Amino acid sequence: MFQTIRGGWQQCHPETAVRMHAFVRSRLAQPGGFADRHGQPDLYYTMFGLLFAAATEMPIDLNAMERYLQNFAPQTLDLVHLASLTRSCLLVQHLRQSSHAAWPRQTLPPTLRDAYNALDNGDLERFPHRDPWSPYSQMLSWSLAEDLGLNYIPQSLARYRLADGMFANLPGNAAPAVNATAAALVLLNATGADRRALQPDLQRLAALQAPDGGFPATPSSPAADLLSTATASLALTCCQHPLPYSLKPFLRQAITRAGGFAALPGDDAPDLEYTIYGLMAMGLTQ
């Protein structure tokens, strides 16, 4: 993923890149980690900060970062934070070695794999939407298994698929969601689904893109947002389906004066998480 983020970074105007670099550095927390929107060290935001550091070769104190990550007991974490810890550990090790070295799965402590294998699908509080089989939960489980070098066998997403080719966040939910649809398509494509069978779903998702490049959170949403735009464009690109429009006009509107990306065009508050989404989307467009 950080190769795509690096591609987005390389497309930034030099003045924007300087401001963005300064913004991300301002989110470094003491004694380690990256800060959330409230200025507190946060494991989830640390993963995004490390993605930026890996993509842009931003120097950080890796010893302090490693000590911060060692504060977390993997077996106590929910799926989102276990994935964040695993990816963060990989990124720290990647930053310690040559940028051309292999993804350092072999350096991961066995406690991370043990924690993944011990995730109890009956403990719903540890999964997004309290559902281990939702499109987002399964996509995240597959991504975590990939980071750990493990196999993931997906469960059927039929209960989440709506008649219009979109997917819902929860079974029985009649509201289609762009992010759920994107997660489902990424998972199905990655786990060997026939891409021709996915074409109607891909076409339905692509049809939601506005001429300025943005995607809404739902077909009925009045405006596009950066998260939906990034996830939809990633899903379409992974499935080798063309984007109807360039993402660049929308992304230019979402960059703040402080250098980071905001959740919505016109929002002046930059956010570390959305900065990564913005760079990823920029790396996917021409």
pLDDT in tens, 176-211: 999 999 999 999 999 998 888 899 999 999 999 999
pLDDT of residue 107: 80
Does 2 map to a domain?
A: yes
Average of per-residue pLDDT values in the chain: 93
- Residue 286 pLDDT level (bands cut at 50, 70, 90): low
pTM exceeding 0.85: yes
Tell me what pLDDT residue 74 has. 97
Mean per-residue pLDDT for 125-150?
96
Mean pLDDT confidence for 247-271: 94
Token look-up 């065009």 returns 265
Contact 177, 192 (CB under 8 A): no
Nearest to 183 by CA among 221, 154, 147: 154
Task: Note whether 191 and 142 are within 8 A (CB).
Answer: yes
Q: How many CA atoms lie within 13 A of 244 on its CB side?
A: 16
Instruction: Report if residue 132 sits inside a domain.
Output: no
Q: Does residue 36 fall inside a structural domain? A: yes
Residue 29 located in a structural domain:
yes
Give the C-alpha separation, 184 to 136, whole Å: 7
Percent of the chain, pLDDT > 90? Answer: 84
Q: What pLDDT is recorded for position 98?
A: 65
Does residue 80 sit within a domain?
Answer: yes
User: Taking the CB of residue 125, how many other CB atoms lie within 10 A of it?
Assistant: 6
Token pair for 92: 């720290």
Residue 258, in any domain of the structure: no
Total tally of structural domains belonging to the chain: 1
Residue 52 lies in a domain: yes
135, 167 in Cβ contact below 8 A? yes
What is the pLDDT at residue 121? 87
Taking only the tens place, the pLDDT of each residue in 60-110 is: 999 999 999 999 999 999 999 999 999 999 999 999 986 656 667 778 999
Print the domain residue range for 7.
Answer: 1-113+276-286
37-56 in b/e form (b: 16+ CB < 10 A) is eeeebbbbbbbbbbbbbbbb
Q: What CA–CA distance (Å, rounded) separates 173 from 159? A: 9
Residues 242-262 have a mean pLDDT of 95
| Domain-embedded: residue 186 | no
Report the pLDDT value the prediction gives residue 285, as an integer from 0 to 100.
80
